[in-house]
C-alpha cells in the first residue's frame, strides 16, 4: 500500500519532545524522516530518564519511531556542507532548537530560500515575535504562559500542570498541520515557505474556552463553575466540565486513587439517570427538574449521583450508564491504558522490538487514513543509517564516508 507522504524527504533536526513528536507523525504518514543528530551524543533524550543502563531511553524510542538516524556534526565545516547538500535534496526541514541556534551555523531562512527554494522550513519555538522571543521554553513553561496552568487544578490549590503534554505534543500537532498545508500550497506556487509554531500560541489555542469564559466573567459570575467567588480572571474549577453540560469526577468502589468516573448530565437523559440510581423520588421535583434549577446546587446533584457510583466499580458504572445513554468515562490509570484490549486491538498501544532493549510499548498513531496505514517501527540507534543515507541520497563513496567517520564528522 502506498503512503500519504511517500516521496517526501524530511531533514529532522529536532530534539527533546515537541519537534520529534511532529516528525514521528510525518514518518508514520510515510515521509522519509532523516533525523540529524550530533555525533556521539545524539538527541539529548537518548540518555535522559534511562530505565536500562547504556540503552536508548523510552523517552527517545517512543518519540522517534519510523525514522532514520544520521549523525552529522554541523559545527564542523564538512558537516555543514553535507547538511546543505541534504537540504537541497529535501522537502522539509524541521527544528526546535533554542532561538537563533541554526542561524548561528549560517543556516538562515534567507539562505535556505536561495539554496533550496522548494524547501519548507518548519520550527517550533517557545514564543512568537515580541517580548518573549528570545526565551527558551519547556512543556510546563508553555502551559504556564499559554493560560493552561492558571485554569487547571482546584480553587484552593496552586496553579497545576496537566499530564497531557499540550505544550510539546500540542505544538507538534499544530506544526504537523502547518507543514501539510505548506506542502499542499507548494503544488500551486512551486515554492517552499517558512512555517513557525510558538508553544505559547499552541497552548493558548487549546485554552480558547477559558478566554471565552474570561470575557463572560466581565458580565458577572460564571454560574456553571463550582466556585463561590470570582476575581478578575477565570478561576481554577477543579473537574468542572467547562462545556455547556455540567460534569464531575465521581468516586467509585473500591475507592483507590483512580477509582473515579467522569459523568456528564445531559438534560434529556436526566430522568433515566435518576431511575438508574434509585432516586425516582426526585423526579418532577422543581429544584432538580431543569438544568437551570440544578445549576444552583450542582454539588448536591453530583453528591447524590456519587452516593450510587461509590457502591460500584468504575467499569460497572460505565456499563450501566452507557446502557441508558448517560455520557461518562472511567478514569483510566496508565495500567488501565496499557492493558486495555481495545487500545491494543486498534493499534493505539503497540509492542515494538528493539535490538538493545527487547520489546517495549509505544503509543500508536491516532491518524487513521484508509489509503495510508501506519506500521510503527522501532526508533533508530544513533547513526544507524548514516552511511546508508549519505550513499543513497548524496551518492558519497565509501572512502569518503570512512574519512568522515575518522574525523568525527558523522
Ligand atoms: N551537530 C552539532 N551541534 C548541534 C547539532 C549537530 N547535529 N544539532 C544541534 N546542535 C547544537 C546547536 O547548534 C546548538 O548549539 P549552540 O547553542 O552552541 O548554538 C545546540 O546544539 C542546541 O541548542 P539549544 O539552545 O536548542 O539547546 P538547549 O539544551 O540549551 O535548550 C531547549 C533546549 C528545548 C530549551 C531549546 O532547544 C528550546 O527552547 N527549543 C525551542 C522550544 C522547544 O521546542 N521546547 C520543547 C522542549 S521539549 O520539552
pLDDT for 340 equals 98
Of all protein residues, the one whose alpha carbon is nearest to atom 38 of ligand 1 is 98
pLDDT for 243 equals 78
CATH architecture for residues 9-205+348-407: 3-Layer(aba) Sandwich (3.40)
pLDDT for 242 equals 77
Q: Report how far ligand 1's centroid is from the alpha carbon of 13 (Å).
A: 9
Q: Hey, which of 94, 101, 383 would you mutate to test ligand 1's pocket, going by the most ligand atoms within 8 Å of its Cβ?
A: 101
Q: Report how far ligand 1's centroid is from the alpha carbon of 172 (Å).
A: 16
Query: Which of 98, 11, 20 has the alpha carbon at shortest distance from 58?
Result: 20
For every residue of 215-281, DSSP letters joined together read HHHTTS--TTSS-S---SSPPP-TT---SSS-EEEEE-BT--TT-EEEEE--GGGHHHHHHHTT-GG
Q: Report how far ligand 1's centroid is from the alpha carbon of 388 (Å).
A: 26
Q: Is 168 a catalytic residue?
A: yes
Which residue(s) pair with 358 in the sheet? 354
**pTM for the whole thing?**
0.96
Given the residues 32, 43, 168, 213, select the one marked as catalytic: 168
Q: Report how far ligand 1's centroid is from the alpha carbon of 98 (Å).
A: 5
Q: What are the angstrom distances between the C-alpha of 36 and each of 14, 57, 90, 210, 389?
A: 8, 18, 13, 39, 11
Query: Which of 171, 230, 178 has the alpha carbon at shortest distance from 198?
Result: 171
Residue-wise burial string across 282-293, b where 16 or more C-beta atoms lie within 10 A, e elsewhere = eeeeeebbeeee
For every residue of 84-106, DSSP letters joined together read HHHHHT-SEEEE-PSTTTTGGGT
| Rg for the chain, CA atoms, rounded | 26
The domain ranges of the chain are 9-205+348-407, 239-251+260-330
pLDDT in tens, the chain (410 residues): 899 999 999 999 999 999 999 999 999 999 999 999 999 999 999 999 999 999 999 999 999 999 999 999 999 999 999 999 999 999 999 999 999 999 999 999 999 999 999 999 999 999 999 999 999 999 999 999 999 999 999 999 999 999 999 999 999 999 999 999 999 999 999 999 999 999 999 999 999 999 999 999 999 999 889 999 999 999 999 999 877 899 999 999 999 999 999 999 999 999 999 999 999 999 999 999 999 999 989 999 999 999 999 999 999 999 999 999 999 999 999 999 999 999 999 999 999 999 999 999 999 999 999 999 999 999 999 999 999 999 999 999 999 999 999 999 99
CATH architecture for residues 239-251+260-330: 2-Layer Sandwich (3.30)
pLDDT for 241 equals 82
Of all protein residues, the one whose alpha carbon is nearest to atom 26 of ligand 1 is 97
Any residues with Cβ below 6 Å from ligand 1, and which?
Answer: 16-19, 36-38, 72-75, 96-98, 101, 104-105, 124-126, 136-139, 168, 199
- What lies within 8 Å, CB to CB, of 315 at 6+ separation is 330
pLDDT for 1 equals 81
Of all protein residues, the one whose alpha carbon is nearest to atom 13 of ligand 1 is 101
Q: Hey, which of 18, 98, 134, 141 would you mutate to test ligand 1's pocket, going by the most ligand atoms within 8 Å of its Cβ?
A: 98
Return d(Cα 41, Cα 293) in angstroms, integer: 62
pLDDT for 244 equals 83
Q: Report how far ligand 1's centroid is from the alpha carbon of 103 (Å).
A: 12
Amino acid at each position: 500500500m502506498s503512503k500519504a507522504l511517500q516521496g517526501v524527504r524530511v531533514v529532522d533536526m529536532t530534539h527533546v519532545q515537541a519537534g520529534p513528536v511532529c516528525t514521528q507523525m510525518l514518518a508514520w504518514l510515510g515521509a522519509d524522516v532523516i533525523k540529524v543528530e550530533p555525533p556521539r551524543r545524539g538527541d539529548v533524550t537518548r540518555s535522559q530518564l534511562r530505565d536500562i543502563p547504556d540503552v536508548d531511553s523510552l523517552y527517545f524510542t517512543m518519540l522517534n519511531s519510523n525514522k532514520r538516524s544520521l549523525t552529522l556534526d554541523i559545527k564542523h565545516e564538512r558537516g555543514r556542507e553535507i547538511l546543505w547538500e541534504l537540504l537541497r535534496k529535501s522537502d522539509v526541514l524541521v527544528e526546535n532548537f533554542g532561538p537563533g541556534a541554526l542561524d548561528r551555523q549560517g543556516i538562515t531562512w534567507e539562505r535556505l530560500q536561495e539554496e533550496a527554494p522548494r524547501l519548507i522550513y518548519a520550527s517550533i519555538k517557545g514564543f512568537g515575535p515580541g517580548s518573549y522571543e528570545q526565551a527558551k521554553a519547556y512543556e510546563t513553561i508553555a502551559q504556564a504562559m499559554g493560560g493552561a496552568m492558571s485554569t487547571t487544578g482546584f480553587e484552593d490549590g496552586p496553579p497545576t500542570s496537566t499530564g497531557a503534554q499540550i505544550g510539546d505534543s500540542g505544538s507538534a500537532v499544530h506544526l504537523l498541520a502547518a507543514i501539510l498545508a505548506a506542502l499542499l500550497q507548494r503544488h500551486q506556487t512551486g515554492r517552499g515557505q517558512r512555517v513557525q509554531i510558538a508553544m505559547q500560541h499552541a497552548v493558548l489555542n487549546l485554552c480558547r474556552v477559558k478566554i471565552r469564559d474570561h470575557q463572560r466573567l466581565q458580565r458577572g459570575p460564571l454560574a456553571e463553575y463550582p466556585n463561590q467567588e470570582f476575581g478578575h480572571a477565570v478561576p481554577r474549577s477543579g473537574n468542572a466540565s467547562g462545556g455547556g453540560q455540567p460534569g464531575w469526577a465521581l468516586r467509585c468502589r473500591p475507592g483507590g486513587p483512580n477509582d473515579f468516573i467522569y459523568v456528564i448530565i445531559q438534560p434529556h437523559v436526566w430522568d433515566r439517570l435518576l431511575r438508574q440510581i434509585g432516586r425516582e423520588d426526585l423526579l418532577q421535583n422543581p429544584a432538580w427538574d431543569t438544568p437551570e434549577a440544578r445549576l444552583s446546587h450542582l454539588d448536591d446533584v453530583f453528591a447524590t449521583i456519587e452516593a450510587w457510583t461509590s457502591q460500584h466499580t468504575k467499569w460497572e458504572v460505565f456499563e450501566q450508564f452507557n446502557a441508558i445513554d448517560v455520557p461518562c468515562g472511567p478514569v483510566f490509570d496508565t495500567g488501565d491504558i496499557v492493558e486495555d484490549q481495545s487500545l491494543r486491538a486498534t493499534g493505539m498501544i503497540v509492542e515494538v522490538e528493539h535490538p538493545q532493549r527487547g520489546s517495549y510499548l509505544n503509543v500508536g498513531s491516532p491518524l487513521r487514513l484508509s489509503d495510508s496505514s501506519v506500521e510503527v517501527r522501532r526508533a533508530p540507534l544513533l547513526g544507524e543509517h548514516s552511511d546508508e543515507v549519505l550513499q543513497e541520497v548524496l551518492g558519497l563513496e565509501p572512502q569518503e564516508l570512512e574519512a568522515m567517520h575518522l574525523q568525527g564528522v558523522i
